Amino acid sequence: MSAFPLAESWTAWPAPAKLNLFLRITSRRADGYHELQTVFRLLDWGDAVFLRPRLDGRIGRVGAPVAGVDEAGDLTVRAAKMLQTAFNVRSGVDIGIEKRIPMGGGFGGGSSNAATVLVALNRLWRLGLGEDQLAALGQTLGADVPVFVRGFNAWAEGIGERLQPLELPPAWYLLASPGVHAGTAELFQAADLTRDAPPATIAGFLSGTALGNAFEPVLRRREPAVEALFAALSSIGRPRLTGSGSGCFVEFAERHSAQRALAALPAGLLSSGTTVWLARGVDRSPLLDAVARYDTGASPSG
């Protein structure tokens, strides 16, 4: 039974995970940020965000806290307060999260949660903001937030905010998290991080010549658990790192192949504390489908 029952005025909204199918850093900017190239792939799996509007203007988290994240630093709370302040909203909201996406894994959980709050509250508070406005607001919370707001797979450049829709073939993914929390800011400062890679092209990515992740060699050298995970996953396919986290994935053309690979993993992998599961790549974010249902008067959760 959900901790946030719909009968008590909660609405449920999906916050899908993402993968970075490759990630390349091409330069370091004068402001300290990095120019990068990546491909975002959205998944049919992720967290669930629950929202319950309030009349007293209060905004806060309800339910179990997220480990290592206080309420003031929670991106969902910050997203709601930003909307409230920017548009003089008198309403408030209770926010609950059913967390499935591992923290620090590079699957985009925090950014996706924040995007879902922005998109859903735009409906619940009747703000009437467009996608571009919401994406611009989201970018102030994190470079990955706009792709979740827009809800499509994309080729991304800049700091990850310049998005070009990209059609990707159907795929299933075996995902694995070793339970290591990789600090993004620390990794971007790593002395052994390659920051001057030659720019890639979409054609190069689609042909398979532009793959790899700039953070992979850094994390594999620093974290024995990540190196061990790569070794284990290499027995079933080509493992890749996602984002700047410790999460890894192997891509398959269809579900049956992914299931067979899951069954063939070394027996000791799960006993090491690593979590492994399957997810399907999607062309359209489940969040957009939830918004469409809400706009027709149905429950966003289907």
For the annotated catalytic residues, the residue numbers are 18, 144
CA gap 211, 24 in Å, rounded: 8
Which helix (H) or strand (E) segment is 45 a member of? strand 34-54
Question: Cα separations (Å) of 193 from 28, 218, 229, 231?
Answer: 11, 6, 20, 21
CA gap 195, 193 in Å, rounded: 6
Which helix (H) or strand (E) segment is 145 a member of? helix 145-150
CA angle (75, 25, 215) in 5-degree steps: 70
92: three-class secondary structure by DSSP: strand
Handedness of CA 99, 104, 105, 107 (dihedral sign): positive
251: three-class secondary structure by DSSP: strand
